[in-house]
Amino acid sequence: MSDATFRPATEETPLARRLLITLVVLGLGLLVLAPLVVVFVEALRQGVGEALASLTHRDAWAAIRLTLTIAAISVPLNAIFGVAAAWFITKFDFRGKAVLITLIDLPFSVSPVVAGLCIVLTFGANTAIGGWLVGQGYPIVFAMPGIILATMFVTFPFVARELIPVMIEQGRAEEEAALTLGAGGWRVFWTVTLPNIRWALLYGVLLCNARAMGEFGAVAVVSGKIRGQTATIPTTIEMLYQEYLSVAAFTLAAVLALLALVTLLLKTLLELRHADQLAATHRH
Amino acid sequence: MKAPLIHRSPMPGLGLSMGITLTMLSLVVLIPIGALLLKGASYGPAGIWETVNRPRVWAALFLSFRLSLIAALFNLVFGVLLAWVLVRYRFPGRRLLDGAVDLPFALPTAVAGISLTALYAPTGAFGSLADQIGWKIAYTQWGILIALIFVGLPFVARTVQPVIEEIEREVEEASATLGASRLYTLRHVILPMLMPAALTGFALALARAVGEYGSVIFIAGNIPLVTEIAPLLIIIQLEEFNYDAAAAIGIAMLLISFALLLAINLIQVWSRRRIGHV
Amino acid sequence: MQPILTNAGTIPAQGPHLTTAALRRLTARPIHRLRGLAAGLALAALSLGSVPGPALAQSLLNVSYDPTRELYREINAAFTAFWTAQGNPAPSLEVSHGGSGSQARAVIDGLSAQVVTLALASDIDRIAAAGRLPADWQSKLPHNSSPYTSTIVFLVREGNPKGIADWGDLVAEGVQVITPNPKTSGGARWNYLAAWAWAEKNGRDPREFVGALYRNVPVLDQGARGSTTTFAQRGIGDVLLAWENEAHLALKEISEDRFDIVVPSVSILAEPPVALVETNIQTDDQRKLAEAYLDFLYSPEGQAIAFRNFYRAWDSSQAAPEDVARFPALELIDIASLGGWAKVQPEHFGDGGIFDQIYVQP
Whether residues C170 and C248 fall in one domain: yes
Which stretches of chain C sit within 8 Å of chain A by CB?
19, 21-22, 24-25, 28-31, 33-34, 37-38, 41-44, 46-47, 49, 51, 61, 66, 69-70, 94-98, 106, 108-112, 130, 223, 225, 249, 253-254
pLDDT at B205 over 60: yes
Residue B13 falls within a domain, yes or no?
A: no
CB C318 within 8 A of CB C301: yes
Whether residues C198 and C60 fall in one domain: no
CB A102 within 8 A of CB B262: yes
Residue A14 falls within a domain, yes or no?
A: no
Mean pLDDT of A65-77: 94
The interface predicted TM-score of the complex, written ipTM, equals 0.81
Whether residues C38 and C122 fall in one domain: yes
Quick one: pLDDT band at residue C52, thresholds 50, 70, 90? very low
pLDDT at A275 over 60: no
Whether residues C183 and C86 fall in one domain: no
Residue C159 falls within a domain, yes or no?
A: yes
Mean pLDDT of A164-173: 84
Number of domains in chain A: 1
Q: Give pLDDT, residue B183.
A: 80
Residue A145 falls within a domain, yes or no?
A: yes
Residue B160 falls within a domain, yes or no?
A: yes
Min distance C217 CA to chain B CA atoms (Å): 8
Query: Residue C286 belongs to what domain range?
Result: 15-147+272-325
Number of domains in chain B: 1
Give residue-wise pLDDT tens across range C159-211.
999 999 999 999 999 999 999 988 888 889 999 999 999 999 999 999 999 99
Residue C2 falls within a domain, yes or no?
A: no
Q: Give pLDDT, residue C42.
A: 35
Averaged pLDDT score across all residues of chain B: 85
Give residue-wise pLDDT tens across range C283-333.
889 999 999 999 999 999 999 999 999 999 999 999 999 889 889 888 899
Quick one: pLDDT band at residue A268, thresholds 50, 70, 90? low
Whether residues C227 and C313 fall in one domain: no
Of residues C149 and B173, more confidently modeled: C149
Min distance B161 CA to chain C CA atoms (Å): 29
Give residue-wise pLDDT tens across range A94-147.
888 888 988 898 887 788 888 888 888 888 877 888 888 887 878 888 888 999
Query: Residue A65 belongs to what domain range?
Result: 58-283
Instruction: Kindly report the CATH number assigned to the domain that includes residue A175.
Output: 1.10.3720.10
Number of domains in chain C: 2
Residue B63 falls within a domain, yes or no?
A: yes
Percentage of chain C lying above the pLDDT 70 cut: 84
Q: Give pLDDT, residue C6.
A: 35
SS (H, E, C) C218-281: CCCCCCHHHHHHHHHCCCCCCEEEEEHHHHHHHHHHCCCCCEEEECCCEEECECCCEEECHHHC
3 state DSSP class of C55 = coil
pLDDT at C82 over 90: yes
Interface of A with B in 31-90 (CB under 8 A): 31-36, 38-39, 42, 77, 80-81, 84-85, 87-89
pTM of this structure:
0.81
pLDDT at B26 over 60: yes
What is the greatest pairwise CA distance in chain A?
81
Of residues C142 and C253, more confidently modeled: C142
Residue A143 falls within a domain, yes or no?
A: yes
Residue A50 falls within a domain, yes or no?
A: no
Whether residues C68 and C45 fall in one domain: yes
Quick one: pLDDT band at residue C30, thresholds 50, 70, 90? very low
Interatomic CA distance for residues C56 and C92, integer angstroms? 10
CB within 8 Å: B236 and C359: no
Residue pairs spanning B and C at CB distance below 8 A: 69
Chains touching C, CB cut-off 8 Å, 3+ pairs: A, B
Mean pLDDT of B135-146: 92
CB within 8 Å: C24 and A143: no
Q: How would DSSP label each residue in chain A? A: --S-----TTS--HHHHHHHHHHHHHHHIIIIIHHHHHHHHHHTTT-HHHHHHHHTSHHHHHHHHHHHHHHHHHHHHHHHHHHHHHHHHHH--BTTHHHHHHHHHHHHHS-HHHHHHHHHHHHSTTSHHHHHHHHTT---TTSHHHHHHHHHHHHTTHHHHHHHHHHHHH-SHHHHHHHHTT--HHHHIIIIIHHHHHHHHHHHHHHHHHHHHH--HHHHHHHTT-TTTT--HHHHHHHHHHTT-HHHHHHHHHHHHHHHHHHHHHHHHHHHHTHHHHHHHHH-
pLDDT at B145 over 90: yes
pLDDT at A273 over 80: no
Residue A121 falls within a domain, yes or no?
A: yes
Instruction: Kindly report the CATH number assigned to the domain that includes residue B238.
Output: 1.10.3720.10
Interatomic CA distance for residues B138 and B122, integer angstroms? 7
Give residue-wise pLDDT tens across range A232-249.
888 888 888 877 788 888
Whether residues C26 and C65 fall in one domain: yes
Min distance A18 CA to chain C CA atoms (Å): 37
Q: Give pLDDT, residue B2.
A: 54
Averaged pLDDT score across all residues of chain C: 82
Residue C6 falls within a domain, yes or no?
A: no
Of residues B18 and B214, more confidently modeled: B18
Residue A230 falls within a domain, yes or no?
A: yes
Q: Give pLDDT, residue C34.
A: 39
Instruction: Kindly report the CATH number assigned to the domain that includes residue C170.
Output: 3.40.190.10
Per CB-CB distance under 8 Å, the chain B contacts of C219 are: 139, 221-223
Interatomic CA distance for residues B85 and B88, integer angstroms? 5
B29-33, C14-18, C292-296, C348-352 — most confident range: C292-296
Percentage of chain B lying above the pLDDT 90 cut: 23
Min distance C208 CA to chain A CA atoms (Å): 33
Query: Residue B46 belongs to what domain range?
Result: 35-275
Residue C1 falls within a domain, yes or no?
A: no
Lowest mean pLDDT, pick from A3-17, B73-87, C58-72? A3-17
Residue B128 falls within a domain, yes or no?
A: yes
Q: Give pLDDT, residue B278.
A: 39
